[in-house]
Amino acid sequence: MQGELTSYSGSCHCGAVRFEARTTLSPAVRCNCSFCRRRGAVMANVRAEDFRVGFVNTDRIFREANTAKAAQAKLETEFSKREKELSETGVRLKAASEKLDKDAPTLPEGERTRRQRELVEQDRDFQRRRREFQEDLNQRKNEELAAVVERANRAMKQIFDSEKYDLIIQEAVFAGPRVDITDKVIKALNAAPPTAGK
């Protein structure tokens, strides 16, 4: 006999995935893994129609959401000048190195040594500036990515609450279109007003 459905909260062992499901907990069986045996945990089946799951493709969020596109455009504007300057410096150093290789056989030893030393110092400075550029770019990418993730999580929470989902996941090997709610999240993100100062 099917008992009354009751809502239960649960999670995976590490707690990264949490969910709420409606079930009767009957029939229930004991799990035989060592972790569940120590906790006295039991297992029960939940009917598919009583458990609502949503999947969000985060790669699509980062490619298609307006907030992600705006963040990418912002980074390009912020770093394009430095990137162009570095590229031009690299071209000049390469040309100077090729010219020195060509001129070296006819140069006095002192002049050849001086120019080699100058090239080494210029290349060392160029490599330092390139590392600094990459570090700054990575830091700003992480900051902008965190802002996109924060807004996406807020949109997912709104959908979770308003449409009464039991579980929304962002990583899966396979997910069918029936549970894929990525379009809903992108639509919610695109409809949300821009964050002040962003």
DSSP for 79-98?
Answer: HHHHHHHHHHHHHHHHHHHH
The pLDDT tens digits for 130-148 are 999 999 999 999 999 999 9
pLDDT band, very low/low/confident/very high, at 1 (cuts 50, 70, 90): very low
Mean pLDDT of the chain: 86
The sign of the torsion formed by the CA atoms of 186, 180, 53, 35 equals negative
The rounded distance, in Å, linking the Cα atoms of 113 and 116 is: 5
59-86 pLDDT tens trace:
999 999 999 999 999 999 999 999 999 9
pTM, entire model? 0.66
User: Residue 2 has what pLDDT?
Assistant: 52
pLDDT at 44 over 80: no
pLDDT the model gives residue 15: 64
First to last CA, the chain: 57
Indicate the pairing of strand 167-169 with strand 53-55: parallel
- Tell me the sheet residues that pair with 43: 29
Q: Domain ranges for the chain, please list them.
A: 6-51, 59-191
Q: Which helix (H) or strand (E) holds 122?
A: helix 109-162
For residue 142, how many other CB atoms are within 10 A of its CB? 10
* Residue 145: per-residue pLDDT: 93
Nearest to 78 by CA among 146, 132, 128, 136: 136
d(CA 108, CA 99): 15
Confidence of residue 17 (pLDDT cuts 50, 70, 90): low
pLDDT value at residue 47: 67
Position 52 confidence tier, pLDDT thresholds 50, 70, 90: confident
Backbone torsions φ then ψ of 128, nearest 5 degrees: -65, -45
